[in-house]
Each structure stands twice: as C-alpha cells, then as structure tokens.
Amino acid sequence: MATVPAEYALALAAVLFALGLTGVLVRRNMIYVLMSIEVMLNAAGLAFIAAGYRWAEPDGQVMFVFILTLAAAEVSVALAVIFRFFHRTGTLDLDKVGSLKG
C-alpha cells in the first residue's frame, strides 16, 4: 500500500487551521465563529495524528481523543451561554456584545 508522507497531512492541517482562523476573524455570527473554532481544533487534532504517524507512536491519536472530548465539552458550555444571550437579545451577532467596551 502506498503511504502518504506525514508532511502532507501536516500541510493539510495547517491549511485547515488557517481556514478556521479566517472564519473566526471574518464571521460575525456566534454559531459560525464557534464552528470555525471547531475547525481549528480539529486541524490541531489532525496535526497530532500526523505527528504520531511520523514517530510511529499512539500518542498522537491519544491526544486527538482528548481534543475531541474537550472540544465537545467546550461547545456544549459555549452553546448554553450563547443560547442565553440569544434569549435575552434575539440576536447572534458578535458585534452586539456591546455593553462592554473594546
């Protein structure tokens, strides 16, 4: 079976990370921003898998499982907080988080 070099996977992870970061910076809707953060986290997970593959160790995959778990925890709490904000203001626009300065 032909193998894919670890560098390719790493490059893909870097592209995904950059895409996620662009999403965070460009989008104003909280749900999209949250999704973009998820993309960044998963890009990091992919990078870990590539690194584990390079060293032929299971550690990278273990880290990936940790990242998945914590991303899920993070999103569930974040959605609860955002839901309360939506309930109060009826908007998901990040720019409306305004009563606090800068």
Partner 1 sequence: MSATDLVAILPMLVLTMAAVAATVLAAFRTSHAFNAALAVSAFALALFSLVPASNAAPRAVTALISVDAYSLLFTGLLLGAAIAVTLFSYGYNEGREGGLAEFYIVLLIATLGAIVLAVSAHVATFFLGLEILGVSLYVLIASDLGERANEASIKYLILAGIASSFLVFGMALVYTELGTMEFSEMARRTGESGAGPLLLAGLAMITVAAGFKLAAAPFHMWAPDVYEGAPAPVGAFLAAVSKGAVAALLLRFFLQTGSLALHPLFIVFGAVAVASMFTGNILALFQTSIKRTLAYSSIAHVGYLLIAFLAGGRAGMVAAGYYLAAYFVSIIGAFGAVTLLSGKDRELDLLDDYRGLAWQRPWLAGAFAAMLLSLAGMPLTAGFLGKFFVAAAGVREALWFFVIAFAINSAIAVYYYLRIITVLFSPSYGEAPGPLPRLPLAGTVALGALTLLLVFLGVYPGPLLALLEEAASAFL
Interacting residue ranges for partner 1, rule: CB under 8 A: 6, 10, 13, 17, 20-21, 24, 30, 33-34, 37, 40-41, 43-45, 47-48, 50-52, 54-55, 57, 59-60, 62-63, 66-67, 70, 73-74, 77-78, 81-82, 84-85, 88, 94, 97-102
CA-closest candidate to residue 54, choices 102, 2, 7 = 7
Query: Which residue lies nearer to partner 1 by CB, 1 or 100?
Result: 100
CB 64 within 8 A of CB 49: yes
Q: Residues near 86 by Cβ (< 8 Å), separated by ≥ 6?
A: 92
Nearest distance from C-beta of residue 4 to partner 1, angstroms: 15
- Whichever of 1 and 66 has its CB closer to partner 1, that residue is 66
Report long-range pairs for 80-87 (Cβ below 8 Å, ≥24 apart): 82/30, 82/31, 82/34, 85/30
- Closest to partner 1 by CB, 1 vs 62, is 62
